[in-house]
Structure 1
Amino acid sequence: MLPRNDPRQYDDLAGEWWRPGGHFEILHWLAAARGALVPRAERPEAVLVDAGCGGGLLAPHVQRLGYRHVGVDLRRSGLEQSASRGVTPVTGDVTALPLADGAADVVVAGEILEHVTDLPGTVAELCRVLRPGGLLVLDTVNDTPVGRFVTVTLGERFGAAPVGIHDPELFVDPGELTAECAKHGVRLQVRGLRPSTIGLVRWLFLPKGTRSRPLGRMIPTRSTAVVYQGMGRKQGESR
Protein backbone atom coordinates (compact mmCIF):
# COMPACT_ATOMS: atom_id res chain seq x y z
CA MET A 1 0.00 0.00 0.00
CA LEU A 2 1.27 3.46 -0.88
CA PRO A 3 1.76 5.98 1.94
CA ARG A 4 -0.81 8.70 2.50
CA ASN A 5 -0.73 11.56 0.01
CA ASP A 6 1.54 9.68 -2.39
CA PRO A 7 0.91 11.21 -5.86
CA ARG A 8 1.28 7.79 -7.47
CA GLN A 9 -2.21 7.02 -6.19
CA TYR A 10 -3.60 9.20 -8.96
CA ASP A 11 -2.27 6.80 -11.58
CA ASP A 12 -4.27 3.98 -9.98
CA LEU A 13 -7.31 6.28 -9.82
CA ALA A 14 -7.03 7.63 -13.37
CA GLY A 15 -10.38 6.12 -14.33
CA GLU A 16 -12.15 8.11 -11.62
CA TRP A 17 -11.55 11.61 -12.97
CA TRP A 18 -14.60 11.67 -15.23
CA ARG A 19 -16.70 8.78 -13.88
CA PRO A 20 -20.08 10.16 -12.75
CA GLY A 21 -20.64 9.35 -9.09
CA GLY A 22 -17.06 8.15 -8.64
CA HIS A 23 -14.46 8.98 -6.01
CA PHE A 24 -13.79 12.36 -7.60
CA GLU A 25 -17.42 13.45 -7.92
CA ILE A 26 -17.17 16.31 -5.42
CA LEU A 27 -14.05 17.55 -7.22
CA HIS A 28 -16.33 18.29 -10.18
CA TRP A 29 -18.56 20.41 -7.95
CA LEU A 30 -15.50 22.26 -6.61
CA ALA A 31 -14.20 22.83 -10.15
CA ALA A 32 -17.51 24.41 -11.12
CA ALA A 33 -17.32 26.69 -8.07
CA ARG A 34 -13.79 27.76 -9.04
CA GLY A 35 -14.79 28.35 -12.63
CA ALA A 36 -17.60 30.64 -11.50
CA LEU A 37 -14.99 33.00 -10.02
CA VAL A 38 -12.94 33.31 -13.21
CA PRO A 39 -13.84 36.37 -15.30
CA ARG A 40 -13.80 36.54 -19.06
CA ALA A 41 -10.34 37.19 -20.49
CA GLU A 42 -9.54 40.87 -20.98
CA ARG A 43 -6.96 40.43 -23.73
CA PRO A 44 -6.53 38.12 -26.74
CA GLU A 45 -3.48 36.21 -25.44
CA ALA A 46 -4.62 35.77 -21.85
CA VAL A 47 -3.32 32.69 -20.02
CA LEU A 48 -4.96 30.71 -17.24
CA VAL A 49 -2.59 28.45 -15.30
CA ASP A 50 -4.30 25.48 -13.66
CA ALA A 51 -1.83 24.35 -10.97
CA GLY A 52 -2.30 20.70 -10.09
CA CYS A 53 -4.84 20.30 -12.89
CA GLY A 54 -5.35 16.55 -12.50
CA GLY A 55 -7.70 15.25 -15.15
CA GLY A 56 -8.73 18.72 -16.34
CA LEU A 57 -11.98 19.09 -14.41
CA LEU A 58 -11.85 22.88 -14.68
CA ALA A 59 -11.78 22.84 -18.48
CA PRO A 60 -15.53 22.81 -19.24
CA HIS A 61 -16.10 25.74 -16.88
CA VAL A 62 -13.55 28.10 -18.47
CA GLN A 63 -13.33 26.96 -22.08
CA ARG A 64 -15.49 29.81 -23.40
CA LEU A 65 -13.82 32.58 -21.40
CA GLY A 66 -11.05 33.29 -23.89
CA TYR A 67 -7.97 31.95 -22.08
CA ARG A 68 -5.20 29.67 -23.16
CA HIS A 69 -5.69 27.03 -20.45
CA VAL A 70 -2.33 25.66 -19.27
CA GLY A 71 -2.47 22.70 -16.90
CA VAL A 72 0.51 21.79 -14.72
CA ASP A 73 0.66 18.43 -12.97
CA LEU A 74 3.12 15.73 -11.94
CA ARG A 75 1.16 12.75 -13.24
CA ARG A 76 1.01 11.92 -16.94
CA SER A 77 -2.23 9.96 -16.48
CA GLY A 78 -4.06 13.14 -15.49
CA LEU A 79 -2.34 15.36 -18.04
CA GLU A 80 -3.40 13.07 -20.87
CA GLN A 81 -7.04 13.48 -19.87
CA SER A 82 -6.59 17.24 -19.50
CA ALA A 83 -5.10 17.47 -23.00
CA SER A 84 -8.10 15.62 -24.45
CA ARG A 85 -10.28 18.44 -23.09
CA GLY A 86 -8.35 21.29 -24.64
CA VAL A 87 -5.85 21.98 -21.86
CA THR A 88 -2.21 22.63 -22.78
CA PRO A 89 -0.40 20.04 -20.60
CA VAL A 90 2.83 20.85 -18.78
CA THR A 91 4.60 18.31 -16.59
CA GLY A 92 5.75 20.04 -13.44
CA ASP A 93 5.58 20.42 -9.68
CA VAL A 94 3.50 23.22 -8.15
CA THR A 95 6.40 23.92 -5.78
CA ALA A 96 8.58 24.82 -8.80
CA LEU A 97 6.31 25.78 -11.69
CA PRO A 98 8.12 25.54 -15.06
CA LEU A 99 6.70 28.89 -16.18
CA ALA A 100 8.05 32.43 -16.50
CA ASP A 101 7.43 35.20 -13.99
CA GLY A 102 4.13 36.93 -14.67
CA ALA A 103 3.09 34.41 -17.31
CA ALA A 104 -0.52 34.08 -16.16
CA ASP A 105 -3.53 36.38 -16.10
CA VAL A 106 -5.27 33.91 -13.80
CA VAL A 107 -3.79 31.20 -11.58
CA VAL A 108 -6.11 28.52 -10.25
CA ALA A 109 -5.07 26.11 -7.51
CA GLY A 110 -7.92 23.74 -6.80
CA GLU A 111 -7.67 21.07 -4.09
CA ILE A 112 -3.87 20.97 -4.35
CA LEU A 113 -2.60 23.01 -1.39
CA GLU A 114 -3.63 20.31 1.11
CA HIS A 115 -1.29 17.94 -0.74
CA VAL A 116 1.93 19.99 -0.77
CA THR A 117 4.68 19.62 1.79
CA ASP A 118 6.00 23.16 1.25
CA LEU A 119 3.07 25.57 1.54
CA PRO A 120 5.14 28.81 1.60
CA GLY A 121 7.14 27.72 -1.43
CA THR A 122 4.02 26.72 -3.33
CA VAL A 123 2.23 30.01 -2.60
CA ALA A 124 5.35 31.88 -3.69
CA GLU A 125 5.30 30.02 -7.01
CA LEU A 126 1.59 30.61 -7.61
CA CYS A 127 2.11 34.33 -7.03
CA ARG A 128 5.36 34.49 -9.02
CA VAL A 129 3.76 33.31 -12.25
CA LEU A 130 0.80 35.65 -11.77
CA ARG A 131 1.11 38.97 -13.58
CA PRO A 132 0.44 42.26 -11.73
CA GLY A 133 -3.31 42.75 -11.54
CA GLY A 134 -3.85 39.04 -12.15
CA LEU A 135 -6.32 36.88 -10.23
CA LEU A 136 -5.56 33.97 -7.90
CA VAL A 137 -8.40 31.48 -7.30
CA LEU A 138 -8.06 28.50 -4.97
CA ASP A 139 -9.82 26.09 -2.66
CA THR A 140 -8.50 23.70 -0.05
CA VAL A 141 -9.24 21.83 3.19
CA ASN A 142 -9.00 23.58 6.54
CA ASP A 143 -6.68 22.34 9.28
CA THR A 144 -9.38 21.84 11.91
CA PRO A 145 -10.65 18.79 13.81
CA VAL A 146 -13.93 18.93 11.91
CA GLY A 147 -12.06 19.31 8.61
CA ARG A 148 -10.06 16.17 9.37
CA PHE A 149 -13.14 14.26 10.53
CA VAL A 150 -15.29 15.13 7.52
CA THR A 151 -12.57 14.80 4.88
CA VAL A 152 -10.68 11.76 6.18
CA THR A 153 -12.79 9.81 8.67
CA LEU A 154 -16.20 10.24 7.00
CA GLY A 155 -14.90 10.93 3.51
CA GLU A 156 -12.90 7.73 3.26
CA ARG A 157 -15.62 5.65 4.92
CA PHE A 158 -18.34 6.75 2.49
CA GLY A 159 -16.24 7.04 -0.67
CA ALA A 160 -16.10 10.83 -0.84
CA ALA A 161 -12.32 10.50 -0.86
CA PRO A 162 -10.15 7.50 -1.80
CA VAL A 163 -8.51 5.88 1.21
CA GLY A 164 -5.11 7.43 1.83
CA ILE A 165 -5.43 10.26 -0.68
CA HIS A 166 -5.03 12.91 2.05
CA ASP A 167 -2.50 13.43 4.82
CA PRO A 168 -4.39 15.55 7.37
CA GLU A 169 -1.09 16.92 8.67
CA LEU A 170 -0.93 18.96 5.44
CA PHE A 171 -4.35 20.61 5.74
CA VAL A 172 -4.19 24.39 5.47
CA ASP A 173 -5.14 27.03 8.01
CA PRO A 174 -6.77 29.98 6.16
CA GLY A 175 -4.99 32.53 8.33
CA GLU A 176 -1.62 31.05 7.43
CA LEU A 177 -2.56 30.90 3.76
CA THR A 178 -3.80 34.48 3.72
CA ALA A 179 -0.56 35.64 5.36
CA GLU A 180 1.58 33.77 2.83
CA CYS A 181 -0.33 35.29 -0.08
CA ALA A 182 0.05 38.77 1.42
CA LYS A 183 3.85 38.35 1.40
CA HIS A 184 3.64 38.22 -2.39
CA GLY A 185 1.20 41.07 -2.93
CA VAL A 186 -2.05 39.08 -3.08
CA ARG A 187 -4.79 40.02 -0.62
CA LEU A 188 -6.76 36.80 -0.36
CA GLN A 189 -10.43 36.83 0.59
CA VAL A 190 -11.83 33.50 1.81
CA ARG A 191 -15.26 31.99 2.26
CA GLY A 192 -16.49 28.55 3.20
CA LEU A 193 -18.01 25.99 0.85
CA ARG A 194 -20.26 23.02 1.44
CA PRO A 195 -21.87 20.48 -0.86
CA SER A 196 -25.58 20.76 -1.54
CA THR A 197 -27.64 18.40 0.59
CA ILE A 198 -29.64 17.09 -2.36
CA GLY A 199 -26.44 16.45 -4.28
CA LEU A 200 -24.96 14.45 -1.45
CA VAL A 201 -28.12 12.37 -1.11
CA ARG A 202 -28.16 11.66 -4.83
CA TRP A 203 -24.51 10.68 -4.80
CA LEU A 204 -24.69 8.44 -1.75
CA PHE A 205 -28.01 6.70 -2.32
CA LEU A 206 -28.95 6.65 -6.00
CA PRO A 207 -28.13 3.36 -7.77
CA LYS A 208 -24.96 3.72 -9.81
CA GLY A 209 -26.77 3.13 -13.09
CA THR A 210 -28.97 6.18 -12.54
CA ARG A 211 -26.16 8.56 -11.69
CA SER A 212 -25.45 11.32 -14.16
CA ARG A 213 -23.71 14.63 -13.78
CA PRO A 214 -24.36 17.10 -12.25
CA LEU A 215 -25.45 15.35 -9.09
CA GLY A 216 -24.86 18.41 -6.92
CA ARG A 217 -22.95 21.63 -6.44
CA MET A 218 -20.95 23.56 -3.87
CA ILE A 219 -22.71 26.29 -1.90
CA PRO A 220 -20.97 29.28 -0.27
CA THR A 221 -21.21 29.33 3.52
CA ARG A 222 -19.84 31.47 6.34
CA SER A 223 -18.08 28.54 7.96
CA THR A 224 -14.61 27.76 6.65
CA ALA A 225 -14.23 24.82 9.06
CA VAL A 226 -14.04 22.11 6.38
CA VAL A 227 -13.48 23.43 2.85
CA TYR A 228 -12.89 27.02 1.88
CA GLN A 229 -12.40 29.03 -1.28
CA GLY A 230 -10.14 32.03 -1.77
CA MET A 231 -9.55 34.69 -4.39
CA GLY A 232 -7.41 37.80 -4.65
CA ARG A 233 -5.61 40.01 -7.13
CA LYS A 234 -1.88 40.63 -7.26
CA GLN A 235 -0.90 44.18 -6.53
CA GLY A 236 0.41 46.31 -9.36
CA GLU A 237 -0.92 47.56 -12.67
CA SER A 238 -1.67 44.98 -15.34
CA ARG A 239 0.55 45.08 -18.37
Structure 2
Amino acid sequence: MRLLPRNDPRQYDDLAGEWWRPGGTFELLHWLAAARGALVPPAGRAGAVLVDAGCGGGLLAPHVQRLGYRHVGVDLRRSGLEQSADRGVIPVTGDVTALPLADGAADVVVAGEILEHVTDLSGAVAELCRVLRPGGLLVLDTVNDTAVSRFVTVTLGEHFGAAPVGIHDPDLFVDPGELTTECAKHGVRLRVRGLRPSTAGLFRWLFLPAGTRRRPLGRMIPSRSTAVVYQGMGRKQDEELR
Protein backbone atom coordinates (compact mmCIF):
# COMPACT_ATOMS: atom_id res chain seq x y z
CA MET A 1 0.00 0.00 0.00
CA ARG A 2 1.13 3.55 -0.66
CA LEU A 3 2.82 5.45 2.15
CA LEU A 4 0.48 8.39 2.75
CA PRO A 5 0.16 11.02 5.48
CA ARG A 6 -2.00 10.20 8.49
CA ASN A 7 -5.73 10.62 7.87
CA ASP A 8 -5.25 10.90 4.11
CA PRO A 9 -8.62 9.87 2.53
CA ARG A 10 -6.80 8.17 -0.35
CA GLN A 11 -6.06 5.33 2.08
CA TYR A 12 -9.68 4.24 1.67
CA ASP A 13 -9.09 3.64 -2.03
CA ASP A 14 -6.16 1.38 -1.19
CA LEU A 15 -8.31 -0.42 1.40
CA ALA A 16 -11.45 -0.68 -0.75
CA GLY A 17 -11.35 -4.48 -0.71
CA GLU A 18 -11.64 -4.51 3.07
CA TRP A 19 -15.09 -2.93 3.43
CA TRP A 20 -17.00 -6.21 3.25
CA ARG A 21 -14.33 -8.86 3.89
CA PRO A 22 -15.37 -10.87 6.98
CA GLY A 23 -12.78 -10.38 9.68
CA GLY A 24 -10.97 -7.78 7.59
CA THR A 25 -9.40 -4.49 8.51
CA PHE A 26 -12.80 -2.78 8.79
CA GLU A 27 -14.45 -5.47 10.93
CA LEU A 28 -14.97 -3.16 13.92
CA LEU A 29 -16.69 -0.66 11.64
CA HIS A 30 -19.37 -3.29 10.96
CA TRP A 31 -20.03 -3.59 14.67
CA LEU A 32 -20.26 0.18 15.01
CA ALA A 33 -22.62 0.38 12.03
CA ALA A 34 -24.93 -2.16 13.67
CA ALA A 35 -24.91 -0.11 16.89
CA ARG A 36 -25.82 3.04 14.93
CA GLY A 37 -28.57 1.26 13.05
CA ALA A 38 -30.11 0.11 16.32
CA LEU A 39 -30.74 3.77 17.22
CA VAL A 40 -32.59 4.61 14.00
CA PRO A 41 -36.39 4.30 14.31
CA PRO A 42 -38.66 3.27 11.45
CA ALA A 43 -39.51 6.09 9.05
CA GLY A 44 -42.38 8.17 10.33
CA ARG A 45 -43.64 9.37 6.95
CA ALA A 46 -43.66 8.41 3.29
CA GLY A 47 -40.55 9.55 1.46
CA ALA A 48 -38.48 9.97 4.62
CA VAL A 49 -34.77 10.47 3.96
CA LEU A 50 -31.79 9.15 5.90
CA VAL A 51 -28.50 10.88 5.13
CA ASP A 52 -25.44 8.74 5.85
CA ALA A 53 -22.59 11.25 6.11
CA GLY A 54 -19.21 9.65 5.39
CA CYS A 55 -20.95 6.44 4.32
CA GLY A 56 -17.78 4.66 3.16
CA GLY A 57 -18.67 1.27 1.69
CA GLY A 58 -22.29 1.39 2.89
CA LEU A 59 -21.93 -0.61 6.09
CA LEU A 60 -25.06 0.94 7.58
CA ALA A 61 -27.27 -0.27 4.71
CA PRO A 62 -28.22 -3.74 5.99
CA HIS A 63 -29.24 -2.29 9.35
CA VAL A 64 -31.68 0.32 8.01
CA GLN A 65 -32.87 -1.12 4.70
CA ARG A 66 -36.23 -2.29 6.10
CA LEU A 67 -37.00 0.92 8.00
CA GLY A 68 -38.61 2.76 5.09
CA TYR A 69 -36.06 5.49 4.32
CA ARG A 70 -34.48 6.70 1.10
CA HIS A 71 -30.89 6.04 2.15
CA VAL A 72 -28.58 8.75 0.77
CA GLY A 73 -24.85 8.17 1.29
CA VAL A 74 -22.38 11.05 1.04
CA ASP A 75 -18.66 10.38 0.79
CA LEU A 76 -15.52 11.77 -0.83
CA ARG A 77 -14.23 8.49 -2.25
CA ARG A 78 -15.81 6.89 -5.31
CA SER A 79 -14.41 3.48 -4.35
CA GLY A 80 -16.64 3.41 -1.28
CA LEU A 81 -19.65 4.99 -2.97
CA GLU A 82 -19.66 2.28 -5.63
CA GLN A 83 -19.94 -0.39 -2.95
CA SER A 84 -22.65 1.62 -1.17
CA ALA A 85 -24.65 1.81 -4.39
CA ASP A 86 -24.41 -1.97 -4.76
CA ARG A 87 -26.26 -2.22 -1.43
CA GLY A 88 -29.10 0.11 -2.30
CA VAL A 89 -27.65 3.40 -1.08
CA ILE A 90 -28.16 6.50 -3.25
CA PRO A 91 -24.54 7.68 -3.72
CA VAL A 92 -23.61 11.37 -3.56
CA THR A 93 -20.04 12.62 -3.85
CA GLY A 94 -19.40 15.28 -1.24
CA ASP A 95 -17.59 16.48 1.87
CA VAL A 96 -19.27 16.40 5.28
CA THR A 97 -18.16 20.01 5.81
CA ALA A 98 -20.09 21.07 2.68
CA LEU A 99 -22.91 18.60 2.15
CA PRO A 100 -24.45 18.97 -1.34
CA LEU A 101 -27.98 18.72 0.07
CA ALA A 102 -30.78 21.18 0.78
CA ASP A 103 -31.57 22.60 4.20
CA GLY A 104 -33.86 20.28 6.15
CA ALA A 105 -33.61 17.51 3.56
CA ALA A 106 -33.18 14.67 6.05
CA ASP A 107 -35.40 13.04 8.64
CA VAL A 108 -32.35 11.26 10.07
CA VAL A 109 -28.68 12.15 9.75
CA VAL A 110 -26.14 9.48 10.64
CA ALA A 111 -22.44 10.29 11.02
CA GLY A 112 -20.48 7.19 11.90
CA GLU A 113 -16.73 7.25 12.52
CA ILE A 114 -16.26 10.37 10.41
CA LEU A 115 -15.96 13.30 12.83
CA GLU A 116 -12.52 12.14 14.01
CA HIS A 117 -11.35 12.56 10.42
CA VAL A 118 -12.47 16.14 9.75
CA THR A 119 -10.24 19.17 10.21
CA ASP A 120 -13.20 21.52 10.73
CA LEU A 121 -15.38 20.01 13.46
CA SER A 122 -17.64 23.04 13.89
CA GLY A 123 -18.19 23.23 10.14
CA ALA A 124 -19.04 19.54 9.91
CA VAL A 125 -21.50 19.70 12.81
CA ALA A 126 -23.13 22.78 11.31
CA GLU A 127 -23.68 20.90 8.05
CA LEU A 128 -25.04 17.77 9.71
CA CYS A 129 -27.56 19.92 11.58
CA ARG A 130 -28.37 22.14 8.59
CA VAL A 131 -29.61 19.26 6.44
CA LEU A 132 -31.65 17.83 9.34
CA ARG A 133 -35.30 18.86 9.43
CA PRO A 134 -36.85 20.17 12.68
CA GLY A 135 -37.70 17.17 14.82
CA GLY A 136 -35.21 15.06 12.89
CA LEU A 137 -32.76 12.71 14.57
CA LEU A 138 -28.96 12.94 14.59
CA VAL A 139 -27.06 9.70 15.32
CA LEU A 140 -23.27 9.56 15.48
CA ASP A 141 -20.25 7.84 16.93
CA THR A 142 -16.65 8.93 17.09
CA VAL A 143 -13.36 8.62 18.99
CA ASN A 144 -12.76 10.62 22.16
CA ASP A 145 -9.84 12.99 22.54
CA THR A 146 -8.11 11.28 25.47
CA ALA A 147 -4.73 9.74 26.18
CA VAL A 148 -6.50 6.40 26.59
CA SER A 149 -8.11 6.59 23.14
CA ARG A 150 -4.80 7.54 21.54
CA PHE A 151 -3.13 4.54 23.15
CA VAL A 152 -5.93 2.08 22.36
CA THR A 153 -6.77 3.30 18.86
CA VAL A 154 -3.36 4.26 17.53
CA THR A 155 -0.62 2.59 19.57
CA LEU A 156 -2.33 -0.74 20.29
CA GLY A 157 -4.84 -0.68 17.43
CA GLU A 158 -2.27 -0.19 14.70
CA HIS A 159 0.18 -2.65 16.28
CA PHE A 160 -2.38 -5.48 16.46
CA GLY A 161 -4.09 -4.66 13.18
CA ALA A 162 -7.34 -3.43 14.74
CA ALA A 163 -6.86 -0.19 12.77
CA PRO A 164 -4.95 0.41 9.54
CA VAL A 165 -1.63 2.15 10.11
CA GLY A 166 -2.06 5.90 9.62
CA ILE A 167 -5.84 5.84 9.20
CA HIS A 168 -6.29 8.19 12.17
CA ASP A 169 -4.71 11.48 13.15
CA PRO A 170 -5.14 11.56 16.94
CA ASP A 171 -4.99 15.35 16.91
CA LEU A 172 -8.47 15.25 15.33
CA PHE A 173 -10.10 13.08 17.99
CA VAL A 174 -13.28 14.64 19.36
CA ASP A 175 -14.00 15.72 22.91
CA PRO A 176 -17.67 14.92 23.74
CA GLY A 177 -18.12 18.18 25.62
CA GLU A 178 -17.00 20.16 22.59
CA LEU A 179 -19.20 18.09 20.29
CA THR A 180 -22.23 18.53 22.55
CA THR A 181 -21.66 22.29 22.61
CA GLU A 182 -21.35 22.49 18.83
CA CYS A 183 -24.57 20.51 18.35
CA ALA A 184 -26.42 22.73 20.83
CA LYS A 185 -25.54 25.80 18.74
CA HIS A 186 -27.75 24.32 16.00
CA GLY A 187 -30.63 23.17 18.15
CA VAL A 188 -29.60 19.56 18.74
CA ARG A 189 -29.29 18.47 22.36
CA LEU A 190 -26.88 15.56 22.06
CA ARG A 191 -26.82 12.73 24.60
CA VAL A 192 -23.72 10.55 24.65
CA ARG A 193 -22.77 7.13 25.97
CA GLY A 194 -19.67 4.99 25.73
CA LEU A 195 -19.25 1.96 23.51
CA ARG A 196 -16.85 -0.95 23.59
CA PRO A 197 -16.42 -4.16 21.59
CA SER A 198 -17.62 -7.39 23.14
CA THR A 199 -14.66 -9.20 24.67
CA ALA A 200 -15.39 -12.56 23.03
CA GLY A 201 -15.93 -10.95 19.64
CA LEU A 202 -12.71 -8.98 19.84
CA PHE A 203 -10.81 -12.13 20.79
CA ARG A 204 -12.31 -14.05 17.84
CA TRP A 205 -11.41 -11.26 15.44
CA LEU A 206 -7.83 -10.85 16.61
CA PHE A 207 -6.87 -14.47 17.16
CA LEU A 208 -8.98 -16.81 15.03
CA PRO A 209 -7.28 -17.91 11.79
CA ALA A 210 -8.37 -15.67 8.92
CA GLY A 211 -10.07 -18.47 6.99
CA THR A 212 -12.37 -19.35 9.90
CA ARG A 213 -13.73 -15.83 10.52
CA ARG A 214 -17.43 -15.48 9.76
CA ARG A 215 -19.78 -12.63 10.57
CA PRO A 216 -21.00 -11.74 13.09
CA LEU A 217 -17.77 -12.07 15.04
CA GLY A 218 -18.84 -9.61 17.71
CA ARG A 219 -20.74 -6.45 18.48
CA MET A 220 -20.44 -3.09 20.20
CA ILE A 221 -22.03 -2.84 23.63
CA PRO A 222 -22.80 0.19 25.82
CA SER A 223 -20.12 1.19 28.29
CA ARG A 224 -20.06 3.55 31.27
CA SER A 225 -16.83 4.97 29.96
CA THR A 226 -16.68 7.32 26.98
CA ALA A 227 -12.87 7.38 27.14
CA VAL A 228 -12.29 5.64 23.79
CA VAL A 229 -15.37 5.42 21.55
CA TYR A 230 -18.72 7.04 22.23
CA GLN A 231 -22.11 7.29 20.61
CA GLY A 232 -24.44 10.29 20.49
CA MET A 233 -28.01 11.01 19.51
CA GLY A 234 -30.35 13.97 19.67
CA ARG A 235 -33.30 15.63 17.93
CA LYS A 236 -33.29 19.02 16.27
CA GLN A 237 -35.58 21.55 17.89
CA ASP A 238 -37.78 23.97 16.00
CA GLU A 239 -36.26 27.45 15.79
CA GLU A 240 -39.09 28.97 17.78
CA LEU A 241 -38.52 26.56 20.67
CA ARG A 242 -34.81 27.29 21.10
- TM-score category (smaller protein): over 0.9
What residue is the counterpart of 2:43 in the other structure? Answer: 41
Distance 2:76 2:120 in 1: 15
Helix, strand or coil for the counterpart of 1:228? strand
Q: How much identity, in percent, do the aligned residues show?
A: 90
Alignment equivalent of 2:81, drawn from 52, 71, 79 = 79
Shift in Å at residue 169 of structure 1? 0.1
Helix, strand or coil for the counterpart of 2:74? strand
Helix, strand or coil for the counterpart of 1:71? strand
Output one character per residue of 1:65-109: Cα deviation in whole Å (capped at 9) or x when no partner.
000000000000000000000000000000000000000000000
Shift in Å at residue 129 of structure 1? 0.1
Helix, strand or coil for the counterpart of 2:187? coil
What residue is the counterpart of 1:204 in the other structure? Answer: 206
**How many residues matched?**
237
What residue is the counterpart of 1:93 in the other structure? Answer: 95
Quick one: which amino acid aligns to residue 131 of structure 1?
R
What residue is the counterpart of 1:68 in the other structure? Answer: 70
Q: Are residue 129 (structure 1) and residue 131 (structure 2) matched?
A: yes
What residue is the counterpart of 1:115 in the other structure? Answer: 117
Helix, strand or coil for the counterpart of 2:22? coil
Shift in Å at residue 225 of structure 1? 0.1
Distance 2:87 2:160 in 1: 29
Q: TM-score, normalised by structure 1?
A: 0.99
Helix, strand or coil for the counterpart of 2:159? helix
Q: TM-score, normalised by structure 2?
A: 0.97
Output one character per residue of 1:203-234: Cα deviation in whole Å (capped at 9) or x when no partner.
01111111000000000011000000000000
Shift in Å at residue 236 of structure 1? 1.7
Output one character per residue of 1:1-50: Cα deviation in whole Å (capped at 9) or x when no partner.
11000000000000000001111000000000000000000001000000
Q: Are residue 147 (structure 1) and residue 157 (structure 2) matched?
A: no
What residue is the counterpart of 2:221 in the other structure? Answer: 219
Indicate the RMSD between aligned Cα atoms, in angstroms. Answer: 0.6
Q: Which runs of 5+ in 1 are unaligned?
A: none
Q: Are residue 171 (structure 1) and residue 173 (structure 2) matched?
A: yes
What residue is the counterpart of 2:233 in the other structure? Answer: 231
Alignment equivalent of 1:184, drawn from 172, 181, 186 = 186
